[in-house]
Structure 1
Amino acid sequence: MTLKLPTTNKRLLFSKIKTYDETLPSLKRVIIEPVGFPIKVSNSENVKVSAENLDLFNIYARDQWIGEIVKEGDYLFDNSIIPDYAFRVISTYPKGGGLITSDTYFILQQPKKIIRTQFKKAKFDDIIGQEHAKKKCKIIMKYLENPKLFGEWAPRNILFYGPPGTGKTLMARALATETDSSFILIKAPELIGEHVGDSSKMIRELYKKAEESAPCIVFIDELDAIGLSREYQSLRGDVSEVVNALLTELDGIKEHEGVVTIAATNNPAMLDTAIRSRFEEEIEFKLPNDEERLKIMELYAKTLPLPIKANLKEFVEKTKGFSGRDIKEKFLKPALHKAIIEDKEFIDREDLLWAIKNIKKNVREAPQHLYL
């Protein structure tokens, strides 16, 4: 896109006479983010705005916007280099807004990128146990490999549920890896926008990106954050906007061929009926049994920087109720750190027993997935 410098300053040509309240605070700091043009311009999506030198940017910004009264959520428009390009005010100091002066310092913040397409590859062999879930997921694999075979009978919306750390995200990553599909991971709270309309826009962009990247898995983690039943929350307007926009996509009003939505929750019973009903398949993830916990310990032991010189079978019963994540984060990692601090060349039985004892000591009210 070719950008032309204007021969005159539009801000001066169309400036309005303002009467300022003397009590209006002068802004010390304004954080803004680039948004774009108020209307769609050909090739405007190619304009990427950043500030390599903040001091230089501040001279430029103050020259344009000195005398403007702004508050959080307002927009400032460029008048010189990229005429009519908009910047949104994210926050001000003092809070509540005020007057831009020659002393105001601007910080240019890039918009948050909630659509993450890079992910760590995984395989089904990395998942110990969950055989029922793997079997259920075969239909998703078949669909991603050949979407046209299914037509209107496609498995579009799937709910993964079970205790934390049981492999729900790992399973979704493995599905994407095994089928050579794109993978978009997003946490439900990130869909709640700061202003009206933000959430709907984000969700539309999310599914547009998924459709462009098909075959694709959209994985929505922490669905509880926006999908709790009204019995358990006072539904705010911003959350309601997210839910309504998401339901529109899940309803399949616009068919996204080759796109599967997988959402994860720890407690499906607490989900709002309207949301839960959109998932045609629910797949349970269970805590590992004795045999599986031993396999998980042995698998992690191979990747530890120090070898384990102890009989792991002794700790099968002691880790009853642990998820795979618990075994790694609450059992093996503390034992490893203790051994390193004490300058040991291996993790011994005492380190492992200390880790178990430490968990029991610190967890006053054990989470549901830790039966200690």
Structure 2
Amino acid sequence: MIRSAQRLNPQKKRETQSETEGVSAELVVIKPAGYPMCGIIDDFPQVENPEVFECYARQQWNGYIARAGDYLFDHRMYPDFAYRIIDAQPPESIIGQFTSFIVNEELPEPQKIEYNTDVTFEDVIGQKLARQKCKLIEKYLEKPGIFGKWAPRNVLFFGPSGTGKTMLSKALANHSKVPIIPIKATQLIGEFVGEGSRQIHQLYEKAADLAPCIIFIDELDAVALDRRHQELRGDVAEVVNALLTEMDGIDERKGVCTICATNRPEVLDVAVRSRFEEEIEFILPEKEERVAIITKNLATFPLPANPDIGALATKTQGFSGRDLVEKVLKNALHRAIMDDLEEVPESFFEEAISKVLPKQEKDSRMYV
């Protein structure tokens, strides 16, 4: 349970001092957390002079008990803005006129930066049109300066789930020898009002430092819904607004390419979708591409398997590459291993396909 820091009042002063043995806090480490409710201004205090802030903090929170995990709320310049106590020395001690404060303003990075991905263009089977259009991004990452205002800074990958959108973005980063920051859109939503927007701005600042660089935001529809739906989801409105600000390039970040992915482009907010200079469609694999996917992955099996690949490819019409690998091939292999067999019989592949078909047909109708 999250607690706010407790204020000592005159009536309970003797009792509280007895509990804490009158220990004064020597050091309190705090971190900006944000506002507790929607509707509060999204302006954030920034500590420019640590010594002045320390004096300000001592006067405001004098007599409070500092416990790691608790929150301290500003009552003056930024009413109700919260700081979370990261550490207090000694633990559960009383803030006084000699307490030192350290403000850790760094928010955790949404996701680890990948400097050298192991995905190549050869790993992405099919998607010829998508790969062809990605050459523009590749040229931009190689020479960001030559494009000027015509740079492809925002690109939308759209198409059914499991068709290689994430793989192609990583292959593009690998081929261009640039870092990529992959992230799920839902990770950008903060715990407090305003924290999400700060994470986005920090994400783009980090990308600018690494430029040329790719920011890959997956499942964009999870936050960038049509604004009629956002009225019901106020927690994501600030995320969308911050994302729009960065995509508009008010603070130009040369060499940063934002690639967003979705399997539901029709539900995206019009304002968000209009920011993409390029929209690249990903399609389900054709029969010959399904043959290639099955063949390539069977070659890595730890057990021998010799199914009729052509027949399997025919029966998996409408399957994505992920469906083939994760639902069919892996399912058949795991069953053979569980049954202590020395090879994977063809019947296991057939049964795996029959289990996927009902869900696959339902997902196809949803996408259409």
Q: Does the TM-score normalized on the shorter chain lie above 0.5?
A: yes
The alpha carbon displacement at 1:149 in A equals: 1.3
**Equivalence for 1:181:** 178
Q: How does 1:95-114 map to 2 (within 5 A)?
A: 112-114=108-110
Does the Cα contact within 8 Å between 1:78 and 1:84 map onto a contact in 2?
Answer: no
* Distance of 1:233 and 1:80 partners within structure 2: 43
1:76 paired with 2:82, answer: no
1:370 to 1:252, Cα distance in 2 relative to 1, 3 A = closer
- Name the SS for the 1:309 alignment partner: coil
Which residue identity does 2:110 align to in structure 1?
Answer: I
1:17 paired with 2:34, answer: no
Does the Cα contact within 8 Å between 1:310 and 1:348 map onto a contact in 2?
Answer: yes
User: Structure 2: any 5+ residue segments left out of the alignment?
Assistant: 1-6, 13-28, 33-44, 51-63, 74-81, 91-98
Match of 1:350 among 334, 343, 347: 347
Identity %: 45
* Distance of 1:297 and 1:315 partners within structure 2: 8
Q: How does 1:190-209 map to 2 (within 5 A)?
A: 190-209=187-206
Does the Cα contact within 8 Å between 2:130 and 2:281 map onto a contact in 1?
Answer: yes
**Equivalence for 2:316:** 319
TM-score normalised according to structure 2 size: 0.74
* Distance of 1:364 and 1:286 partners within structure 2: 15
**1 or 2, which has the higher helix percentage?**
2
**Equivalence for 1:25:** none
* Distance of 1:258 and 1:364 partners within structure 2: 39
1:290 to 1:38, Cα distance in 2 relative to 1, 3 A = same
- Name the SS for the 1:206 alignment partner: helix
**Equivalence for 2:66:** 65
The alpha carbon displacement at 1:346 in A equals: 1.4
**Equivalence for 1:115:** 111
Q: Give the paired residue count.
A: 305
- Name the SS for the 1:282 alignment partner: strand
C-alpha RMSD over aligned residues:
3.3
- Deviation string 1:153-204 (CA, Å, 9 cap, x unpaired) is 1110000000000000001001100000110011111111111221121111
Runs (4+) off by over 6 Å: none
User: Structure 1: any 5+ residue segments left out of the alignment?
Assistant: 1-14, 21-32, 43-62, 89-109
* Distance of 1:180 and 1:267 partners within structure 2: 30
1:18 to 1:192, Cα distance in 2 relative to 1, 3 A = farther
Match of 2:241 among 236, 240, 244: 244
* Distance of 2:11 and 2:283 partners within structure 1: 66
Does the Cα contact within 8 Å between 2:306 and 2:346 map onto a contact in 1?
Answer: yes
Which residue identity does 2:84 align to in structure 1?
Answer: Y
Which residue identity does 1:84 align to in structure 2?
Answer: F
* Distance of 1:75 and 1:19 partners within structure 2: 27
Which residue identity does 1:75 align to in structure 2?
Answer: R
- Deviation string 1:61-118 (CA, Å, 9 cap, x unpaired) is xx9637x986996633866589213589xxxxxxxxxxxxxxxxxxxxx975413202
* Distance of 2:72 and 2:153 partners within structure 1: 42
1:78 to 1:154, Cα distance in 2 relative to 1, 3 A = same
* Distance of 1:146 and 1:308 partners within structure 2: 46
1:278 to 1:80, Cα distance in 2 relative to 1, 3 A = same
* Distance of 1:340 and 1:111 partners within structure 2: 44
* Distance of 1:120 and 1:260 partners within structure 2: 17
Q: How does 1:250-329 map to 2 (within 5 A)?
A: 250-329=247-326
- Deviation string 1:291-329 (CA, Å, 9 cap, x unpaired) is 101100011111122121222111111111100000011
* Distance of 1:264 and 1:175 partners within structure 2: 14
